[in-house]
Amino acid sequence: MKLFFDILPVALFFGVYTLNKDIFLATKLLMLLSLAQMAWLKWHGKVIDNTQKLSFLFIMVLGGATLVGGDATFIMWKPTALYWCLAVLLLLSRYVFGKQPLQALFAEAIVLSEPRLWDRLLWHCCIFFIIMGAINLSVAYLCSEATWVSFKLFGTSGLLIVFVILQWLWLSRYIKTPPTN
């Protein structure tokens, strides 16, 4: 359900763009839906995680710049800005603040046999985010606007699914059964 909720604005952005070929109208809808999502989560007392907050911030700032400046480039930068920011935040959390963010995030679900594997997973994620940001920019600048919009929904989702599966296959050898209370 959370995945559906998270992908809904992007899917509707794609749908509006596909029907109208108007990235500015699609951006307005994306901004409104993102605002409505945040309001709904807040109203229902749901936890808004940091990634959702960061994505919302980039949608509002870069979407606003797109609308005010009349330049679709800003909204096309949003995925790259988010990916690269996530990579930097993961690295800062680990190497400046001494926290292991992925272990904290998945501690309830995954216990790894070797603590160093959390660092390897962190680096896999950071490298993935950096590459995804670069791919997004490549598609934005080398392909048509319509191709970028399609890539935003289908390409990034597909690459994310493949990445998660590959990480799961790699980690599954090292997962211990969590202790039961």
Residue 3 or residue 176, greater confidence? 176
pLDDT digits over 34-91, tens only? 999 999 999 999 988 888 899 999 999 999 999 999 999 999 999 999 999 999 999 9
**Where do runs of H (alpha helix) occur along the chain?**
2-20, 23-43, 50-69, 73-95, 101-106, 116-142, 145-150, 156-171
- Structural domain boundaries of the chain? 2-176
Tokens 């808004």 locate to 48
Q: What's the pLDDT score for residue 3?
A: 63
In this prediction, residue 174 carries a pLDDT of 78
The pLDDT tens digits of the residues spanning 92-146 come to 999 999 888 888 887 777 777 777 888 999 999 999 999 999 999 999 999 999 9
Going by C-alpha positions, the residue among 74, 67, 77, 79 that lies closest to residue 9 is: 79
pLDDT reading at 178 higher than 60: no
